[in-house]
Homo-oligomer: A and B are copies of this chain.
């Protein structure tokens, strides 16, 4: 009778001002409104958002732990500016997490989400909407990693992709970067559906190697 409301329960506790502020700032950083390297003044932002400095500082801590902000003692918080080593490390983690995902037997309903992301990327590419291509590409890899079925890995991937977005924001033309991977996403999907896991894994490794190389070459922080 008392249907399991234990799921909805998690939603209940999710609304302190500090977390709301963190959500807002995360979105702003993600969309590029705050640029990497930029300093975020406690005074101006707390005033702008209408929250106290203490509450804002709690939000800063949250985002600092997600590696989106860089907290320098007595100097303030800055939007993180990833180094080339950071990019390399991010791709190493991607190889581990995505590689583990494609080696698993994929549940059909999870495949549907991936397929939808591939389709959306293709549609957006046909319309020259490269902003949306990038978003769909991110959704593709997020869904890919979710094949692991692990909440912690999903969360780690979310943070990783948010950090990677910082890299894109300092590049001159991120669109050109995403273009070649629309087709490869579809190929990879096919290998996951039908091919042996090892082939998908090998293809993915090449995929990520190429992406990392392209990115690092074009990246001058």
Contact = CB atoms under 8 A, between A and B. Distances in A.
Interface of A: 12-16, 18, 54, 57-58, 61-62, 65-66, 71-73, 89-90, 92-93, 95-97, 99-100, 148-153, 156, 160
A110 B26 CA distance: 37
A106 to B, nearest CB: 15
Contacts of A14: 73
A212 to B, nearest CB: 13
A179 B84 CA distance: 43
Copies in the complex: 2
Contacts of A90: 152
22 contacts: A13-B71, A13-B72, A13-B73, A15-B73, A18-B61, A54-B54, A57-B58, A58-B58, A61-B65, A89-B150, A89-B151, A90-B152, A92-B148, A92-B150, A92-B153, A93-B150, A96-B100, A96-B150, A96-B153, A100-B100, A152-B160, A156-B156
A214 B2 CA distance: 33
